[in-house]
Structure 1
Amino acid sequence: MNLNFSRRALRVAAAGFLALMVSPVAAQTSLFDINTAAQDLLRMFRPSVSGGFLAGQQAMKDLRTDEAARTFHQAAQADWDNPILLDRAFVALAADGRIAEASTTAKHLIELQPVSELAELVVATEALKERRYGAVERQLAEVGQNSFAGITAGILRGWALVGDGRGEEADALMGKLGADGLGDFLVFHRALMAQVSGDTDKALRYAEQAFEAEPFVPRIVEAYAKMLAADGQVDAALDVIDEFEAQGVKHPITTQLRATLEAGEKPDLFPSSVQVGAAEMFHGIGVALSRDGSADLALVFLRLAIYLDPAGDLIKMSVGELLDLAGQHEAANALYDAIPVSSPMKPTAVIRIAQNLDAGDNREEGIRRLRNIVALNPDDLQAVSSLGDMLSANEDWADAAETYSEALRISGGEAASDWGLYYVRGIAYERDGQWPKAEADFQKALTLNPDHPSVLNYLGYSWIDQDMHLDEALGMIEKAVAARPEDAYIIDSLGWAFYKLDRIDEAVETLERAVSILPNDPEINDHLGDAYWKVGRKREARFQWNIATSVDKEGKVAARAAPKLAEGLTPQTETE
């Protein structure tokens, strides 16, 4: 499956997909944006219903799906023949994972207004779950195959044909769907269908094509390696994993699969059933939609995937990530908690729980959980580096530096991607007062990733702050600004470099630009105040110091600005 092609197609098709798959009122922007037509219709609702409608709209935008489902369902029950409310209700129910209720509502919507292809898909998915494969075909028979909705319905119909023992017809249908340029997108699904149909040779042929097109997609690697192993080609299966990992990438599912194969054990087949195969289709499209920015619709597809494959831990992780992005951390953590300890995704799930606890102002508990994961899995690079990040956020600089050192031990410290670990360890060393170690780490980061603007800025600013290598530091920061011309913090560094070099007019001009981009940052406002004072603009200097004091939540800049506000800029009060 050529994922690059499929993502481009999804981006192009997303707007049309919404228009085709939801009611005309809902289709013009997002699933839950109120446009002019909807507002006109809203005026026809009873006050109690219209209030519920608006509340449901906002809840769904926020991905508070439990509240949206409850609100829209209540509103629909109060006006059961209103297609607008039914449309919102079935989508919200589906997004909340209440697929049976969503299907019931969708069936009534289809009776009233048989134009919603998303409703057809939800109803057909329920039939597929119940192994009523003929009903799936009948439900989707009228859906055309020349749209995004049609392709989705076509793949679901293909799985129904596989379930009905008609694997050859399913493959022919996939060939027809792929005739318009989607062949690479569909080849992975053809491999899965052939596998479930029992056609091993065809499955391996398609899986090989999918792997050659996208050798760095963990799910494709997993499926292909498992098919090879099931065919007795264990060494070839390990070679596939080797090729995947040779590029410096790893994934929990492929790591566990390697351990299973090397232990001489037989892995489970993937997919294990028609339902699991169809779930993978919904999963892939849901992830693509989420990257396209269609979070509400993506969540519907991902919930349909979990409905078909309740044990699909990778799908749960995708749903959790979508909820996390919307700030719904408690709902995401409920999914992560439900992942069994035996799952290869459990360590990653616990890491996300810890990160969510941190986001919810419970950092100490997050750190405790991460320490537990690291104790159990001391070579888990993701867990160790995440612990380092959380310790840094807690300003436990010495402990953070030590943890990042462990991460570098695990990674080897010489891969191009290791520049980031040297960078964050360098910051920890610098904050802990260990400048020689910090300087060495920043220089190592630049060796692995030359000209990275963040590293150039941090090292250059640090040198300038210590009156070291001023000309070289200025050149580094100018290079960083050229790479990120709208980054206020890097522009501030350049302005401060000019200040330190006594190029005050340039400092004022540059710091004014930084403040125009980020007008209420205590450090930037404080620096501009110092520059203004130097050129005699004393009233404006005090104004900037006052701003710095008022917006400084930590109090460090305010403490620095206080004597300047009282006495002006003197050698004793000047910012270090």
Structure 2
Amino acid sequence: MQKLIVRPLTAMIVAALAMPLALPASAQTGLLPPRTQSVTGAYLAGIAALENLEANRAATYFREAAESDWDNPIYAGQTFLSYLLAGRISDAASMAQHVLDLNPQDELARLTLGAVALKERRYASAESTLARIPEASLVGVTAGIMRAWSKVGEGDLPAANQILNTVGQGGFEEFLVFHRAVMADLGGDRQSAITLAREAYEMDPFIPRIAEAYIRILGNAGQFEEAQSILDSFAEEGVVHPVVDSLRDDIANQTRPGLFADNVQAGAAEMLHGLGSALARDGSSELGVGFLRLAAYLDPQSAVISLSLGELLSTAGRYDDAETLFASVPSSSPLFVNSLIRLAENIDLKGDRDGAISRLENLLTTYPDNIEAYGILGDLLRYDEQWAEAAEAYSGIINSIETPRPRDWRFFYVRGISYERARMWDRAEEDFLRALELNPEHPDVLNYLGYTWVDRGENLNEALDMIERAVELSPRNGYIVDSLGWAFFKLGRIDEAVEQLETAVRILPADPEINDHLGDAYWMAGRQREAMFQWRIAIDVDEEGTVTERAAPKLIGGLDPDAPILD
């Protein structure tokens, strides 16, 4: 069976995510003390709102509950958390102090007060507030890095590095290399900044934020040739990022591009942005949003933070909040076009796919070379089953590539899918083969081409070899295992087909097509009652009706029109 997937996460952030999270006591499980019905109702309404990240509405309910019982740490804590997630940092800070009066161990409340002190350049106060958070949790590590930034604010870079030495002992040293570089740059230690930025870049050469910082540090030091080599490496790899690309003119003209973080607040915001984005991708939405809200508070002009927070809220269904953030990116920002693309995606998630497609098509008339816009447009058209139009959009990307690189396999793959569904098989086959040339060991490509050949009755032996290799590469992918079973079925190797299709059904028991395939295999194996059972399951779980249309007649006559009807 044919399916598509993609996307990565940096290993050093993953290490951070493995640490225990110290959420506020309010967010931890606890017994709700008995209260009046109205207070309990407000509290429960707040919980329901917060689960959907409706933070402002949640704050209203929790505040109502808190005002009825001001010394209840649960009500106070949830009110604070809601204010934080809504980005109402002033209200959150006021409530955070009350939360700490009730529970001095609440780490997120103390982190928020530390961030406020840092924002207000009360560096000694920030350092002393944050120093009271143990470093055993991710919030504690975050507080430690923020403490280091407060020392940079005081002009004491050695003290900042001493704090980071302690923080790094928890397995964060690789993550901290980048932040040490940015601190050194702002603190005036140019040589250390270059050395550390080079180390961070060599560990992760195609992370845009790391590359941007390294290019800026080199450019500010007058090392334009080396900075240009970083830009050239991005171009050679086909990595496109507007912020990195925006540095090209400065470096080519030998103009100093300016600091990556031009103040302590922006530096601390970058740290919160990195951790918050990683947390959100790992499923810790509340803490991720909280970190990103603090990041936006510390650096309200950062377009990258606005986009990250907007994407998270859009994914969570908070479309209006996301739209506000996307629309806040100014036209002067290198990320302006990206914000327009995110707005279009947000419109699609709201349920207006036609509007999203129209917006992207209009955007491409103004920015005809934007590869990302072509890619998103192609995906939306493909999801909408406008196959020929999707293929045309993907062609906009492929036609712009002079010499395809291995990473470009996906463009040929998705265009191949679009051509295949548009019944333009010759073009589809050519694209699948090109994708395999670029990435010979990708299980999705091996599976899709192999499955389609099997379904068409073409190149069956070669198709079987390809699908078997795909299963070796991705043995727990039910769609690929289904393809192998179907290939055996088409080759008349029924016992092997049954074995593989049963495995596929165990992996994906609610997939209609896999159940239908297993029914066919059972029938050919002489297991007619089991075949009927599988076809009924296929029909029951089929939400689109396409498999039902194929499976329903089998309940009458099986695969043989003359077969007896089985009760």
Q: Do the structures match in fold with TM over 0.5?
A: yes
Single out whichever of 195-204 and 68-77 deviates more from structure 2: 195-204
Shift of 1:66: 2.8
Indicate whether 1:454 and 2:444 are aligned. yes
Shift of 1:431: 1.4
- Cα distance change of structure 1 residues 172 and 552 upon mapping to structure 2, 3 Å threshold: closer
Q: What pairs with 1:305-316 in structure 2 (closer than 5 Å)? A: 305-316=295-306
Identity of aligned residues (%): 48
- Cα distance change of structure 1 residues 142 and 434 upon mapping to structure 2, 3 Å threshold: closer
Indicate whether 1:161 and 2:163 are aligned. no
| Counterpart pick for 2:44 among 24, 41, 54 | 54
| Counterpart pick for 2:16 among 10, 14, 17 | 10
SS in 2 for 1:314: helix
| Mapped contact 1:463–1:469 kept (Cα < 8 A) | yes
- Give the structure 1 partner of residue 291 of structure 2: 301
Q: What pairs with 1:418-567 in structure 2 (closer than 5 Å)? A: 418-567=408-557
Shift of 1:230: 2.9
- Give the structure 2 partner of residue 234 of structure 1: 224
| Mapped contact 2:481–2:501 kept (Cα < 8 A) | yes
- Give the structure 1 partner of residue 63 of structure 2: 73
Shift of 1:243: 3.6
Task: Output the CA distance in 2 between the equivalents of 1:271 and 1:536.
Answer: 71
| Mapped contact 2:186–2:259 kept (Cα < 8 A) | no
Task: Output the CA distance in 1 between the equivalents of 2:136 and 2:560.
Answer: 73
| Code of the aligned partner of 2:125 | A
- Cα distance change of structure 1 residues 200 and 453 upon mapping to structure 2, 3 Å threshold: closer
Shift of 1:297: 1.2
Q: Deviations over 1:487-512 (max 9, x none)?
A: 33223222322322223343334333
SS in 2 for 1:249: coil
| Counterpart pick for 1:317 among 307, 310, 317 | 307
Task: Output the CA distance in 1 between the equivalents of 2:550 and 2:199.
Answer: 63
| Counterpart pick for 1:351 among 298, 316, 341 | 341
- Give the structure 1 partner of residue 263 of structure 2: 273
| Counterpart pick for 2:24 among 3, 9, 22 | 22
| Mapped contact 1:133–1:161 kept (Cα < 8 A) | yes
Single out whichever of 53-62 and 91-100 deviates more from structure 2: 53-62
- Give the structure 1 partner of residue 278 of structure 2: 288
Residues paired across the two proteins, number:
555
Task: Output the CA distance in 1 between the equivalents of 2:349 and 2:245.
Answer: 29
Task: Output the CA distance in 1 between the equivalents of 2:164 and 2:543.
Answer: 58
Task: Output the CA distance in 1 between the equivalents of 2:346 and 2:512.
Answer: 28
SS in 2 for 1:344: coil
| Mapped contact 1:320–1:335 kept (Cα < 8 A) | yes
Single out whichever of 435-444 and 533-542 deviates more from structure 2: 533-542
Q: Deviations over 1:120-176 (max 9, x none)?
A: 111121122222233323423434556644443233233333333444543444455
SS in 2 for 1:410: coil
Task: Output the CA distance in 1 between the equivalents of 2:182 and 2:525.
Answer: 71
Task: Output the CA distance in 2 between the equivalents of 1:224 and 1:203.
Answer: 9
Q: What pairs with 1:221-260 in structure 2 (closer than 5 Å)? A: 221-260=211-250
Task: Output the CA distance in 2 between the equivalents of 1:173 and 1:546.
Answer: 64
| Code of the aligned partner of 1:521 | D
- Give the structure 1 partner of residue 322 of structure 2: 332
TM-score, with normalisation over the residues of structure 2? 0.88
| Mapped contact 2:85–2:290 kept (Cα < 8 A) | yes
Single out whichever of 514-523 and 392-401 deviates more from structure 2: 514-523
Task: Output the CA distance in 2 between the equivalents of 1:158 and 1:521.
Answer: 52
Q: What pairs with 1:190-205 in structure 2 (closer than 5 Å)? A: 190-205=180-195
Indicate whether 1:394 and 2:394 are aligned. no
Indicate whether 1:376 and 2:382 are aligned. no
Task: Output the CA distance in 2 between the equivalents of 1:348 and 1:285.
Answer: 21
| Mapped contact 2:219–2:255 kept (Cα < 8 A) | no
Shift of 1:210: 3.2
| Counterpart pick for 1:105 among 95, 120, 124 | 95
- Cα distance change of structure 1 residues 507 and 307 upon mapping to structure 2, 3 Å threshold: same
Task: Output the CA distance in 1 between the equivalents of 2:295 and 2:500.
Answer: 52
| Mapped contact 1:446–1:455 kept (Cα < 8 A) | yes
- Give the structure 2 partner of residue 115 of structure 1: 105
- Cα distance change of structure 1 residues 94 and 500 upon mapping to structure 2, 3 Å threshold: same
- Cα distance change of structure 1 residues 69 and 245 upon mapping to structure 2, 3 Å threshold: farther
| Mapped contact 1:459–1:473 kept (Cα < 8 A) | yes
Shift of 1:407: 1.2
Single out whichever of 153-162 and 247-256 deviates more from structure 2: 153-162
Task: Output the CA distance in 2 between the equivalents of 1:209 and 1:491.
Answer: 42
Q: Deviations over 1:81-115 (max 9, x none)?
A: 11122222212211221111010001112222222
Task: Output the CA distance in 1 between the equivalents of 2:168 and 2:474.
Answer: 41
Task: Output the CA distance in 2 between the equivalents of 1:561 and 1:144.
Answer: 61
Provide the aligned C-alpha RMSD in A: 2.9
Task: Output the CA distance in 2 between the equivalents of 1:518 and 1:199.
Answer: 56
Task: Output the CA distance in 1 between the equivalents of 2:515 and 2:162.
Answer: 66
- Give the structure 1 partner of residue 3 of structure 2: none
Shift of 1:180: 6.8
Q: Which runs of 5+ in 2 are unaligned?
A: 1-8
Task: Output the CA distance in 2 between the equivalents of 1:511 and 1:181.
Answer: 44
- Cα distance change of structure 1 residues 520 and 179 upon mapping to structure 2, 3 Å threshold: closer
SS in 1 for 2:247: helix
| Code of the aligned partner of 1:520 | A
Shift of 1:305: 0.4
Shift of 1:564: 3.6
SS in 2 for 1:411: coil
TM-score, with normalisation over the residues of structure 1? 0.87
Task: Output the CA distance in 2 between the equivalents of 1:200 and 1:563.
Answer: 75
Q: Which runs of 5+ in 1 are unaligned?
A: 27-31
- Give the structure 1 partner of residue 350 of structure 2: 360
- Cα distance change of structure 1 residues 481 and 173 upon mapping to structure 2, 3 Å threshold: closer
| Counterpart pick for 1:408 among 388, 393, 398 | 398
| Code of the aligned partner of 1:447 | E
- Cα distance change of structure 1 residues 68 and 497 upon mapping to structure 2, 3 Å threshold: same
- Cα distance change of structure 1 residues 74 and 394 upon mapping to structure 2, 3 Å threshold: same
Task: Output the CA distance in 2 between the equivalents of 1:415 and 1:121.
Answer: 45
- Give the structure 2 partner of residue 29 of structure 1: none
| Mapped contact 1:33–1:57 kept (Cα < 8 A) | no
Single out whichever of 133-142 and 334-343 deviates more from structure 2: 133-142
Task: Output the CA distance in 2 between the equivalents of 1:308 and 1:418.
Answer: 38
- Cα distance change of structure 1 residues 197 and 517 upon mapping to structure 2, 3 Å threshold: closer
Single out whichever of 505-514 and 392-401 deviates more from structure 2: 505-514
| Mapped contact 2:295–2:305 kept (Cα < 8 A) | yes
Task: Output the CA distance in 2 between the equivalents of 1:136 and 1:310.
Answer: 19
| Mapped contact 1:381–1:411 kept (Cα < 8 A) | no
